[in-house]
Amino acid sequence: MASQLLLPTNKFTNSSLDKVFVTGDDLTLKRKPNHATRVSYGFSLRANAALISSHRSSVEVPRQWYNLVADLSVKPPPQLHPKTFEPIKPDDLTHLFPNEIIKQEETLERFIDIPEEVLEIYKLWRPTPLIRAKRLEKLLQTPARIYFKYEGGSPAGSHKPNSAVPQAYYNAKEGVKNVVTETGAGQWGSSLAFASSLFGLDCEVFQVAHTYQQKPYRRLMMQTWGAKVHRSPSELTEAGRRILQADPSSTGSLGIAISEAVEVASRNEDTKYCLGSVFNHVLLHQTVIGEECIKQMEEYGETPDVIIGCTGGGSNFAGLSFPYIREKLKGKINPIIRAVEPSACPSLTKGVYAYDFGDTAGLTPLMKMHTLGHDFIPSPIHSGGLRYHGMAPLVSHIYDQGFMEAISIPQTECFQGAIQFARTEGIIPAPEPTHAIAATIREALRCKETGEAKVILMAMCGHGHFDLASYEKYLRGELVDLSFSEEKIQESLSKVPLVV
């Protein structure tokens, strides 16, 4: 059920505050002993800077990534070769990835050390703040306590550099000269462009046509960091030409852009492919989010009852939730873990769990995942990063095993929640995490009805400074909910390979 749009008044009272007092443009922190993590009210940049600075002194950047596969009693199904349907061997991936990335994709080790060179770059923005959303709580009049882990302070403005930096590092270390990738909303493309610039790599990006036009400043951001950016589908690849021949006005999809990038990497020996979601090594790198968050929540003396994150390919969601699933498997905690996807691209809630290609042209390995069919082209919703036909195989596996649940929410409710969040917490979210915000508001309002004082932890994976055209449409009343066609999905699912 959509929540009622509530707007805060200008009057601020401090009746519930015992740690933070705001006077004019200054922030004074009164601390409880051994309680270093702070509450943000979004009043001023000075206040926010002070909060983040004090936060960073209390929690260190994790020195290891966590591999959830090591702790699963039922291991996820293997990837299959796209031609033979036999389990993938490491040699089958060498034309796409550097050796260290291939090892991380297949490893059963529980923890992987983060290279010092990567740690030094992480420290440009990590650790990222965990913030209690007290003003949003007050607006909703809920007894729930809402926390959000904010990843928007990275150079690219999202969680994506958490994996872009190590991928660029490993490629450069092995002597690779060029990397190629796809991007939906532009967050991954800008992150890889940033990371490539640090390690002296040439970077080529295929950006989904819809966001190539909709978000020109993301494109300019990539170009500023030295990347070459193409509208996808393009005339540069066989995969792109095939799509354009069938539909010259194609808005593109992540699946199509992946096909183009993989094709370029496959035909050039000096080029490797990087991707920002779906594969195990990407989810592995993102676990720095959850590892930090566990320690930060401990400083609050809190344990989350509900953990919420948006899902497109699954990297942001996995980054926060996987370390908590580890603690859940140990019997230490038992939170509800909830993925939220767009109603117009509902792979978890409406897709089938089957082997399918990760791209439209069928060039990637076959992966067992929740899929809408590899040639499904989602409606051009404003959450470009969530317009993917499938889901990370490891996220799909733990969903199938019952470790998490999933819901879908339409984009108008998401932007409604984003406005509430921006006008209370001061951060304008990217369209992707607005799904998590909307689900968090639903949960908080249920707590209001039941009187439960649940602790809700939300993944806030990036800011929306390059998405203001979407906000303009919403504020003008021009944003509409887009749905999927059952007939279209069934047609797409009919082309999913039959793997016995």
Specify the number of domains making up the chain: 2
Q: Note the pLDDT of residue 214.
A: 84
The neighbour count for residue 447, using CB atoms within 10 Å, is: 22
**Is residue 172 a part of any domain in this protein?**
yes
Residue closest to 335 by CA, chosen among 354, 322, 353: 322
Last residue of a domain, one of 273, 293, 313: 273
The neighbour count for residue 446, using CB atoms within 10 Å, is: 15
Q: 């002070």: which residue's tokens?
A: 50
| Amino acid in position 329 | L
**Is residue 28 a part of any domain in this protein?**
no
Q: Note the pLDDT of residue 227.
A: 98
Q: Note the pLDDT of residue 484.
A: 65
Separation CA 191–CA 313 (nearest Å)? 16
Does 291 lie in the same domain as 263?
no
For the four alpha carbons of 433, 438, 442 and 447, in that order, the dihedral sign comes to positive
**Is residue 446 a part of any domain in this protein?**
yes
pLDDT tens for residues 402-424? 999 999 999 999 999 999 999 99
Residues with Cβ within 8 Å of 136's Cβ and at least 6 positions away in sequence, in order, are 146, 420, 421, 424, 425, 444
**Is residue 56 a part of any domain in this protein?**
no
Does 352 lie in the same domain as 333?
yes
The mean pLDDT value for 294-304 works out to 96
Model pTM score: 0.87
Does 476 lie in the same domain as 405?
yes
Confidence of residue 142 (pLDDT cuts 50, 70, 90): very high
Residue closest to 20 by CA, chosen among 37, 45, 6: 37
**Is residue 93 a part of any domain in this protein?**
yes
**Is residue 208 a part of any domain in this protein?**
yes
The mean pLDDT value for 165-173 works out to 98
Coil, helix or strand for 416?
A: helix
DSSP per residue, 323-388: HHHHHHHTTS---EEEEEEETTS-HHHHSEEEEEESSSSS-SPEEEEEES-TT------S-GGG--
Residue closest to 466 by CA, chosen among 191, 224, 217, 229: 217
Last residue of a domain, one of 248, 273, 298: 273
DSSP per residue, 61-93: PPSEEE-GGGG-SSPPPPPB-TTT-SBP-GGGG
Q: Quick one: 234 exposed, middle or buried, by C-beta within 10 A (0-12, 13-18, 19+)?
A: buried
Cβ–Cβ under 8 Å, residues 35 and 297: no
The mean pLDDT value for 288-304 works out to 97
Does 171 lie in the same domain as 90?
yes
Separation CA 441–CA 445 (nearest Å)? 6
Coil, helix or strand for 110?
A: coil
Separation CA 447–CA 48 (nearest Å)? 28
- 217 token code pair: 């400043």
The phi and psi torsions of 298 (rounded to 5 degrees) equal -60, -35
Does 197 lie in the same domain as 131?
no
pLDDT tens for residues 339-386? 999 988 899 999 999 999 988 888 899 999 999 998 777 655 545 556
Separation CA 56–CA 41 (nearest Å)? 18
The neighbour count for residue 428, using CB atoms within 10 Å, is: 18
Does 165 lie in the same domain as 152?
no
Is pLDDT above 90 for 457?
Answer: yes
Does 297 lie in the same domain as 245?
no
Beta strand pairing call for 145-150 and 130-132: antiparallel
The mean pLDDT value for 143-156 works out to 98
Least confident of 10-19, 185-194, 229-238, 250-259: 10-19
Does 235 lie in the same domain as 148?
no
Separation CA 188–CA 68 (nearest Å)? 23
Coil, helix or strand for 177?
A: coil
Q: Note the pLDDT of residue 385.
A: 57
Answer with the residue of higher pLDDT: 134 or 56: 134
Q: 């019997």: which residue's tokens?
A: 331
Does 343 lie in the same domain as 257?
no
Last residue of a domain, one of 223, 250, 273: 273
Q: Using the 8-state DSSP alphabet, how is residue 42 labeled?
A: -
Provide the Cα torsion 470, 472, 476, 477; round to 10°.
20
Q: 């304008």: which residue's tokens?
A: 428
Does 337 lie in the same domain as 193?
no
Q: In the chain, helix, strand, coil percent, each to 5? A: 40, 15, 40
Separation CA 32–CA 86 (nearest Å)? 58
**Is residue 391 a part of any domain in this protein?**
yes
Which residue range(s) make up the domain with 454?
127-157+280-482
CATH number at residue 151: 3.40.50.1100
**Considering the chain, what is the average pLDDT of its residues?**
87
Cβ–Cβ under 8 Å, residues 144 and 439: no
Q: 């921006």: which residue's tokens?
A: 422
Q: Note the pLDDT of residue 29.
A: 33
**Is residue 337 a part of any domain in this protein?**
yes
Does 246 lie in the same domain as 168?
yes
Coil, helix or strand for 450?
A: helix
Looking at mean pLDDT, say which of 96-105, 243-252, 464-473 comes out highest: 96-105
Is pLDDT above 90 for 20?
Answer: no
- Tell me the β-bridge partners of 352: 371
Does 186 lie in the same domain as 248?
yes
